[in-house]
Every structure is written in structure tokens, then in C-alpha cells.
Amino acid sequence: MRHTGPWLRAAEGAMLLGPDGVPAPTVFAEMSALAASTGAVNLGQGFPDEDGPVEVLDAAVRAIRDGVNQYPPGRGTPDLRLAIAEHQRHWYGLEVDPDQEVLVTAGATEALAATLLALVEPGDEVVTFEPFYDAYGALIRLAGATHVTVPLTAPDFLPDESTLRAAFSDRTRAVLVNTPHNPTGRVLPTEVLRVVVELAERHDAVIITDEVYEHLTFETEHAPHVPHVPIATLPGARERTVTVSSAGKTFSTTGWKIGWLTAPPALVTAITTVKQYLTFVNGAPFQPAVAAGLRLPDTVFAGIAADLAAKHAVLAAGLTAAGFGVHRPDGGYFVIADTAPLGYEDARAFCLELPHLAGVVGVPVSAFVRPDHAAGYRSLVRFAFCKKRSVLEDAASRLATLSRA
């Protein structure tokens, strides 16, 4: 007899099961396996291949040696919660109570999971932009809610206001906003965020933000710097917003899985009630290390973003020289390239061929959208540039062979 519990139904909703009910590999696993089997440069998965600030790494080593290796407090260590509150005040002018309005989580994904499971009921609707981080669909389904999407279409990857307004209804319980956005790299402008706040107020919806790339915004050759504006800073948003972020992307410590959320006390209490039955606690020696990282000088954060901008420039130049159409991001780890100028209308088929054609792996953007919406993204590929400069230079050199094919 086939089991249809909530986890399995969530997996089905996220297209993780094959027709025989057996778990199918995600496109990320599929492309990584292809990279391994062909010796291709893997620009499919979004994690760095070099370490972050030495101050952060050294703090973790000290914590381990000092015996910080047992369960931390359920809401996170007091000093990390204080550092998160200080961070929100320093960067955004947000006053956050570290004891009542901060929760440390096992990465941003757990923060999102606990928030959705705590605040969303079966039959509710959750609005997100599309393309979307693949966990969103599964988590919304796991909560028993209906996933409503608003497309971000090329070339600017901004929502149509009338479509955004039409996505909200009396059943809308939450809107999940990811900015800077994965996979497009777009920083949503303040005017879009203001519409989100207006609609959330009108429909009494919770705003959940995914801001893991908050410090990774930068200027490119053809686009000025667009700063990240947390939605919680806008009028009317603070009392209904759960702000989610993490250390992994900023400090190149994705394996540590230290995330957090800030929200009004009642929301944090409700989310904590769920979170304690997920991981309970995690990452004891990494919590003081992240606290140290959040207190680093502004120049360190600027240097991290500048380094990422330089890496983007290397890969974007290689993609342009190879004949792709390149969409310039405002920030994040990824650049979107269009395969249509190369004569490929199906990016998934192209990604399966690319390791053999040029020794590089990317991921089709259609992996981040619903199957019935994939046509609008059919020729787009996401490439990660959060890699060593030498790796990106190698990838650019390999991609150049496409222009000579």
C-alpha cells in the first residue's frame, strides 16, 4: 500500500518522486553527478569552494577547544541573539529585542519551515515570486497550503503590479519574499516591496522574507549598485514580518547551517513551538563564531561583496564571449544566461549536453518554476559564480569553445 503522509505528499508537490513513487534525484544532484562523471566544472550548485573570513573560522576553532560542544539554549546563545539584534540596528535601523524577537535556527531553510508550519493552516494560500528556491514549494505543501506564484520574467525579472495584486485573496495567509532573489539575482525595488506591504495589510497576511544574500549586492559593468532594503523597515510592515537570514552565504560557511529570524514576540513564540520539534538546537561552537562575524567592520562586508562582483565579471565575460545572452544580477551567487542566441531553445537539454560540449555544468531555470509555467523560462540557465577565480577562469575558457563550434 502506498503511503501518503504529509512528507510524501510534500515531496510529490515538489516533484521529488518519479512515476513509480520512488524518490527521483533533483536536478542539482543530476547535474552534479554529470559533472563528476565528465570532469566538468560544476557551476550548478550554489556553494563556495573557498573559506570565508579567518576571524570567523578562528572563533569556531576557539569555541570547540573551549568546550562549547553541547546543546546551546533553545532560542540560540544569548551573545549570538544580541549580535543579530546589533546587526539589524547597525545596518537597517531596526530595533530588535534579542530575548523576545530573535530565534537562531538550523540555517534559513529551517527558519522558513518552522515559520510556515507555525503560521499557515491547511486551506490557506501562500504567495511567492517565481522562479523560487525549490524548498518553498515543498514546505508550503507540507503545511497543507496552496502555493500561489507571481512571475518574474526576463529581461528585468520584476513582477507586473496587476498580477501581484491579483495573486492576493481573502485566503492569503502569508507572502514569502526572497530578495536579493535566487536564482535571478534581482534586488526587488522598494516600490514593489511597498505594494507587498499594502496587500499584506489589506488581507491580514504575514510577510516572510528570505534575505540570505542581504550583504551580497554589488555594482556590475552595466548596472549600478542596488542596495538591499529589508521589508521590515517599511511603514506598516514591522508588526507582521518574519525576517529570515543566515551566515552561510555572507561568510562562505554554508555547511555550518546557522540561520536566524527576527519577528514580533508573539510570532517568535509560535515559531519556536514548532522549531523545537524540528532540530531543537544546532551548531553550538558555530554560534559564537557567527556572532564574531556579524560584528566585523563594515569594510569586511564591503570586501566580500566586491570579491563576488569581481568573480561575477569573470564569468559574465566568458558567457558573453561564448555567445549567451547574459542577464546582469544585482547581487547573490548566480547569473542567468540565455541559450537562445546559441540556437538552443531548451535549456534543460542544453545543460545535459554542455558538459560534453564545453566541460561546464549549469542548471536550467525551469527547475525553479512549476512545470506549467516553464515555457517562460525555457531557454534560461543559472550559473554559480561563488567559486575560486581560477575555477571561473577555467570555466570561461571552456565556454569559449562554444563560439567556435
Compute φ and ψ for 71, nearest 5 degrees: -55, 130
Half-sphere exposure of 285 (CA within 13 A, CB side): 13
pLDDT reading at 198 higher than 90: yes
Question: Is residue 61 scored above 70 in pLDDT?
Answer: yes
* pLDDT above 70: residue 25: no
Q: How many CB atoms lie within 10 A of CB 178?
A: 27
Q: What is the pLDDT of residue 27?
A: 80
What integer pLDDT is reported at residue 22 of this predicted model? 52
Sorted by sequence, the CB contacts under 8 Å of residue 117 that are 6+ apart come out as 139, 142, 143, 274
Rounded distance, CA 295 to CA 211, Å? Answer: 18
- Residue 15 in this model has a pLDDT that exceeds 60: no
- pLDDT greater than 60 at residue 287: yes
pLDDT at residue 335 tops 70: yes
More confident site: 244 or 405: 244
pLDDT per residue as tens digits for the range 75-114: 999 999 999 999 999 999 999 999 999 999 999 999 999 9
Q: How far apart are CA 338 and CA 187, in angstroms?
A: 20
Q: Which of 54-63, 149-158, 221-230, 297-306 has the lowest mean pLDDT?
A: 221-230
> How high does pLDDT run on average in the chain?
93
Confidence of residue 45 (pLDDT cuts 50, 70, 90): confident
pLDDT band at 368 (very low <50, low <70, confident <90, very high): very high
Nearest CA to 370 out of 147, 209, 165 is that of 147
Asked whether the predicted pLDDT for residue 158 surpasses 90, the reply is: yes
Is-contact 120 174, C-beta < 8 A?
yes
Q: What is the pLDDT of residue 405?
A: 59
What is the pLDDT at residue 192? 97
Query: What is the distance between the terminal CA atoms of the chain, rounded to a whole angstrom?
Result: 52
pLDDT tops 90 at residue 44: yes
Q: How many CB atoms lie within 10 A of CB 107?
A: 23
pLDDT for 221 equals: 73
On the question of pLDDT at 17 being above 70, the answer is no
User: Mean per-residue pLDDT for 35-60?
Assistant: 95
pLDDT at 184 over 50: yes
Orientation of helix 27-38 relative to helix 347-357, angle to 10°: 20
Q: For the segment 115-155, what is each residue's pLDDT rounded down to a tens digit?
A: 999 999 999 999 999 999 989 999 999 999 999 999 999 99
The 8-class DSSP code of residue 342 comes to G
Task: Please provide residue 4's backbone torsions phi and psi, each rounded to the nearest 5 degrees.
Answer: -135, 45
Residue 2 predicted with pLDDT over 70: no
pLDDT above 70 as % of the chain: 93
Split at pLDDT 50, 70, 90, the class of 9 is very low
Give the separation between CA 278 and CA 101, rounded to whole angstroms: 19
User: Percent of the chain scored above 90 by pLDDT?
Assistant: 86
Q: How many CB atoms lie within 10 A of CB 224?
A: 7
